């Protein structure tokens, strides 16, 4: 047994888990988009979706409360950008109501969890020892 303290990963954060699931579903749904959107909406949607989980991951190991919250705020902004792309994708007819409902449900769940995680950080309940 090592004398070093155990380390934890962002993978244990439920908000990250839900956003990761959302990103995987976004990639699946993007296959339905027309090929002429490859460098347009498809690219922007993927970039924004990846940004959510990447900022949660990067912010997890940041040391200060304000630094952590800055990364979570960027994640929240990317999440709202994705919410707009979901509506736009539906309105352009790129996705059906089933895909729209799935995306909407997944992003809403991720949003609530990310907000709760931010609240925990702001109130010193979710620093790096969150998952001990």
Helices and strands in the chain, H and E counts: 4, 0
Predicted TM-score (pTM) of the model is 0.86
Inter-CA distances, 40 with 29, 47, 89, 104, 126, Å: 15, 11, 12, 21, 37
Residue-wise pLDDT for 72-115, tens only, equals: 999 999 999 999 999 999 999 999 999 999 999 999 999 999 99
| Model pLDDT, residue 14 | 95
Quick one: CA torsion of 119, 58, 129, 15, rounded to 10 degrees?
Answer: 50
Q: Spell out the domains of the chain, with CATH numbers in brackets.
A: 13-122 (1.20.1440.60)
30-64 tens-digit pLDDT: 999 999 998 899 999 999 999 999 999 999 999 89
């Amino acid at each position: 047994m090592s004398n070093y303290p155990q380390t934890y990963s962002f993978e244990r954060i439920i908000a990250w888990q839900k956003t990761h699931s959302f990103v995987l579903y976004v990639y699946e749904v993007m296959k339905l988009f027309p090929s002429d959107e490859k460098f347009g909406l498809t690219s922007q949607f993927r970039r924004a979706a990846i940004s959510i989980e990447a900022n949660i991951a990067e912010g997890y190991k940041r040391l200060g409360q304000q630094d952590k919250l800055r990364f979570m705020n960027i994640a929240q902004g990317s999440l709202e950008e994705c919410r707009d792309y979901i509506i736009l994708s539906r309105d352009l007819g790129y996705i059906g109501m089933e895909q729209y409902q799935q995306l909407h449900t997944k992003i809403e769940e991720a949003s609530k969890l990310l907000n709760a995680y931010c609240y925990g950080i702001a109130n010193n309940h979710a620093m790096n020892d969150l998952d001990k």
